[in-house]
Structure 1
């Protein structure tokens, strides 16, 4: 039987956050944290494949998906602030121990949760979610780094290209074994929501704030070593944004890390959701019973 997925809203610090939830409320919790430029929509096919065994929660970050998207004048968009909202949402839902699945922007939010509450994190599944300096593909990141160093009309124009539908489509189809397996609904959905009035400034703010994430990596590595948090790195091998070295690097500090490089791109679930779900069920089935 396919588990039903509930589509809900919560009021968090005066903001309305959308989240998807499935599974029994007393089952072990798994929190799915999405990346740019998408939302919990990216987990629409994964959630039912986990929910017979786990309580699965997938929020839309503020400014993304169906959550509120206040202007940059109304809300200071930082990864710290997005983590604050996620933390409060989980508190409202009574979730105090949970595994995390992180992808892209979800990774720095997940790492902050791990550093704030290391005893709460039961396991980490990282799917093209960097936690090391290794793995950044320079061709993609060089314009972002330049914009972080100096905001000029030239550096802003270079990163603004990432906001358009063509660039979003590129994220979905680059590196996949067969482009026809990726539904156009994905990039059309994301582009429509990213394109809401004023949301361009939200995304530019987060591009700048991404510079705060790599300095956290050393503390994350210490937590992986000291708490021996189980890690599954399941990675689209052909990702043009976070390369496979980002997956392999987890083996340095989590010696029991299980690392799988699959034939796919940045949004691996679009073409390999069955493989990812099978790996997750096997991994979580073992490590959450220790």
Structure 2
């Protein structure tokens, strides 16, 4: 985006799209998908309309937490190149409007999920919103380089919420889906941090690249990838997994490990020379990594894949 287009974007009045952008629809789309998978692969039958309402409530709750995040982070968003054009730091939406939207949608989504499914699911949705908006956004993000590690739990809970909405209970399978997303989050965000360069430092966010250095970040990416692989493969041996999931997971994790090793072996001089090709490649792969793992779980839930399940 050029400086002129950015200036024009920051001076225009807010439209409907600006309020939608507060809900972080692109980020939350993956969150909603994992919740949908958690609901579908859970044992038992859910009426399609109830399932639709449940996923809609989870989507609204995820969007609400995004609005609360943008309200609180308006000051640091204004100092980062990739976020300074957002509606709140650009002045198109007042912070109080973002706060009101976030709080209102939070209460609505939790109440409706409880009425439509069960109050355990509603409680987990409320906790997820609280964890993202308060524990991660207000506390962890500005106070510790472990912000992404611990804060990753906020994005990891949706498949559990979907499972509980369908069953009214928790299980090993649901928690392994949580663990998969939780362990995936650090290498995903640290790969991004390596090639956005000084954005986090300029905003005063203690990302690992700023507090421990870029070589340490590369080592951490590899270590978390090694910890992620057994969690991802372990899902294949549960009731929601199977040979189709396991075959796909083996390929995806081999590719992810190869990418993490490439990033670990490089230094910044090599990265600068090819414009962070390996780091960008790992980040792009990480987006597909999580989506495809949960997509494979959906495939395992189909009747055809069920015929191939472990005896």
Whichever structure has more strand as a proportion of its residues is 1
The TM-score with structure 2 as length reference comes to 0.27
TM-score w.r.t. structure 1 length? 0.28
Greater fraction helix: 2
